[in-house]
Structure 1
Amino acid sequence: MLTEQYNAYSFLLERTARRIKQYAQYQFNCGDFGITVDQWSILKSLRQHADLSQKELAEYCGKDQPTLTRIVDLLVGKNLVERRANPTDRRSFVVHLTPEGERKIDTLTVNINEIRMHAWQNLDEADFEHLKRILNTIYDNLDIGGKS
């Protein structure tokens, strides 16, 4: 009986995460932002952690390497990022935000914050604290590094 209950919770988590992304992508499309939710994630990660290798960027964004490469290729084509030689390892490169990428982030931040806030309507601070604690516990329980 308990296993069925936990399966139902896992389903709710997956369903909610999928709905959040679907809603955001729908709003991106309606707003004619010119990028996808995944592309936005890459741009924001690069602003927070400048000049990341593709491997580091994939880790920050939770993407596998081939998917990240495709997204970066699209962003390069839109002149929002560029690949530069890695100053510490000449065999690799880093992904760098272009001035156009910086402007895109500045232009869309308010819109995207409004889209994200829509999901949090009707919740209070106590709800957020409980959710944060629960999600962090689940995340920590699933450490792939073998610690758990």
Structure 2
Amino acid sequence: MQNKYGFLIEVASRQIKQAFQRKLQQSGTGLTVDQWVVLDKLSGGPKSQVQVVEAVYKDPPTVTRILDLLGRKNLVVRQADPNDRRKFSVGLTPLGQAVIAQLKPVVDEYRNQGWQGLTDEDYMHLHRVMTKIVHNFEMESAATLMNLTAISDEKAA
């Protein structure tokens, strides 16, 4: 029974991403879903690359590639941290801000389409269940990390 729901979550996730990619293509911005997600996270103000990685749940090399592409499109700019030259702050350029403003209505329309017919109670149940699933996997990841750290500590001793 649980496998059926896991599969359904995977199908829903793919369909949501594919539909959103079509919307982005229609917008003429040339952005991918992953690029949009990074831009959206930066719309609240500049962030360190580590903060971007954590905000978008992608690995550092993937985020670096996305930021490189967005930089080439003149949508983001990286600035060295004045206190630590190894660190960078990433923010939107004026063009990046304009693209965010252009796409916000498209994104809102897309999200409204996906949530059509759902009641407030449906939202609450979905939020509760999905939050629990995410929490379960975060706990597993934390336990795995703790085990790996313990094994590493044992080998070092």
Structure 2 counterpart of 1:126: 121
Query: Structure 2 stretches of 5 or more lacking a match?
Result: 145-157
- TM value normalised by structure 2: 0.85
For the pair 1:45 / 2:41, whether they are aligned, the reply is yes
CA RMSD of aligned residues (A): 1.4
Q: CA deviation at 1:28?
A: 1.1
Contact kept in structure 1, 2:76 and 2:96, CA below 8 Å = yes
* Aligned mate of 1:146, from 143, 146, 151: 143
Aligned identity (percent) is 42
Shift of 1:117: 1.4
**How many angstroms apart in 1 are the aligned matches of 2:117 and 2:49?**
38
| Bigger radius of gyration among the two | 2
> 2: distance between equivalents of 1:133 and 1:88?
41
Runs of 4 or more off by more than 3 Å in structure 1?
Answer: none
103-112 vs 50-59, greater mean Cα deviation: 50-59
After TM superposition, the score normalised by the length of structure 1 is 0.90
Aligned equivalent of 1:71 = 66
28, 31, 34: which one pairs with 2:27? 31
Distance 1:43 1:6 in 2: 35
For these two proteins, the number of residue pairs brought into alignment is 142
Unaligned runs of 5+ in 1: none
Per-residue deviation, 1:34: 2.5
Among candidates 1, 4, 12, match of residue 16 of structure 1:
12
Give the superposition deviation at 1:55: 2.0
Contact 2:17 2:33 (8 Å CA) reproduced:
yes
Q: 2:99, 2:26 → 1: CA distance?
A: 17
Kindly tell me: are residues 42 and 77 of structure 1, through their superposed partners in 2, closer, same or farther at Cα, counting changes over 3 Å?
same
How many angstroms does 1:145 deviate by? 1.8
